[in-house]
Structure 1
Amino acid sequence: MAGMDLPQEERYEEFHQVENGVGMTRYFINTFKEQNQQLPHRITHKRRLTIVTGKLAGNIIDEIIVKRLNRIKNLEVNSIIIKNNFFGESVTVTGLLTGEDIYTQLKQIEYGDYVILPANCLNFEGKFLDNWTPEMLETKLNSKVEIVDSDFISLIESIS
């Protein structure tokens, strides 16, 4: 995140800055760390996942989430940092990604069995800012799309 360490939890008080991306990232990491010990050591079927993220959280997703999930036997996890063409490259938060930007960049790579989208990519109607839906993305990619707020235990259970 701009080459700086993520501020410690104490700096956020009650996470009033969640919407700015940095507070949301801290909350996401803390929730993931709480779930870490409950994650399984293996899943039944081989699965390949790609986690979608914006540039702001990209390194953190790789260093903490992807690294840990790849320790689960039969699970291969990658991430993709989506460049925001809709609003411009200076916009780096995941919450402002569009369905079309995600689709255009995912179709160029091997994304596996599931595409994992952070819940903050979607508005209260369950749509991206460009009115795409996860179902549209799923159809165009011919791959399952899962929405994750911060509950990776449920995600792993649903794909097993």
Structure 2
Amino acid sequence: GLRRTLYFKDDDYRLSFLHGNFITLNNLIPEEAERIVKFRISPLCVSLHSTSPQVRSFLMGTSRAEHGLRMLQYLDCQGVSTNIQIVLCPGINDGTVLESTLADLLFKYNHINTVGIVPVARGNHFHGHPRIVNCTPEKAGELIETVERWQQAFRAKRGRNTVFAADEFFMLARKPFPERTYYDHFEQLENGIGLCRLFMDEAEAYLEKMLSQAKIGGGAEKRAKMTIRAPSLPLLIVTGIAAKPVLSEVLQKVLSIYQMDVELLAVPNSSLGPRITVTGLLFGKDIIEVR
């Protein structure tokens, strides 16, 4: 019952290059592949999920998934770099399947920039295969350990970490976010990988700068509070459930320096289901309902 544009599946390599959309390559025809190579349309963002043709076909529900693998191999051989996404589905493409996928990406491909692993999100309106289930905290913890082990292998061979776990895994496993060095150059920031670490670090740096300026003239709190003009009206910060702890921690530090009226509103996703906790998938009506 949503607007029609939300049901259109975009798998356009041009938008992958321009905007970072993750594509499958399943519908990429040879002429388009040649055009990508000719004009060096790189890097592309590719949803891989698994290098096993059988597992990839199962997850994508199409026999064209094997064609997508061949296209990825061809583009890699032609020097086209890619940022890979693996949506982790417990019991399907984790465990030995994931180990095999990461080994293939390390030893059989030469132009993989990054590998981002994100958790599958099964909402209330999911009508796919019953084997596809959400990650548990235990699975999230296992995934984090797996990624750290493979980072060592990628560093040894390529000089960088390359493979990363999404922020959601650390939230789910209740583990602290890694330091900046974990994320290389934050290439998969828009995929929810490193967002929390970068936000916390930037906030910390800004607040330290404000306090440093205040101390120059003495009276740290007074000078810092005068550095920014606090809004006369109350502020409302809307977030999904997942990011609430991070925003709350930063907001407490801000309010220890600046005097302002701020409310942090964590909104459950009633449209897609409570297991969908990221801010970017909130609907307008979700926010309206809690206000």
More strand by share: 1
Q: Which has the higher contact order (CA 8 A, sep 6+)?
A: 1
SS in 2 for 1:68: helix
Which is higher, the Rg of structure 1 or of structure 2?
2
- Counterpart in 1 of 2:210? 38
TM-score by length of 1: 0.56
The sequence identity of aligned pairs, in percent, is 30
Match of 1:53 among 239, 242, 248: 239
- Per-residue CA deviation, residues 111-155 of structure 1 (Å, 9 max, x unaligned), is xxxxxxxxxxxxxxxxxxxxxxxxxxxxxxxxxxxxxxxxxxxxx
Equivalence map 1:6-155=2 (5 Å) = 6-36=177-207, 37-38=209-210, 40-42=224-226, 43=229, 46-64=232-250, 66-105=251-290, 107=291
Moved over 6 A (4+): none
Q: CA deviation at 1:73?
A: 4.7
Structure 2: 5+ residue stretches without partners: 1-170, 212-223
Which has the larger share of helix?
2
CA distance in 2, matches of 1:87, 1:95: 12
Give me the whole-angstrom Cα distance separating, in 2, the residues matched to 1:69 and 1:53.
17
Contact map agreement 1:51 1:79 (CA 8 A) in 2:
yes
Give the aligned CA root-mean-square deviation in angstroms.
Answer: 2.2
* Residues paired across the two proteins, number: 105
Q: TM-score, normalised by structure 2?
A: 0.33
Which residue of 2 is the match for residue 145 of structure 1? none
- Give how far 1:45 is off: 6.0
Deviation at residue 81 of structure 1 after TM alignment: 1.0
Counterpart amino acid of residue 7 in structure 1: P
Which position in structure 1 is the counterpart of 2:68?
Answer: none
Unaligned runs of 5+ in 1: 108-160
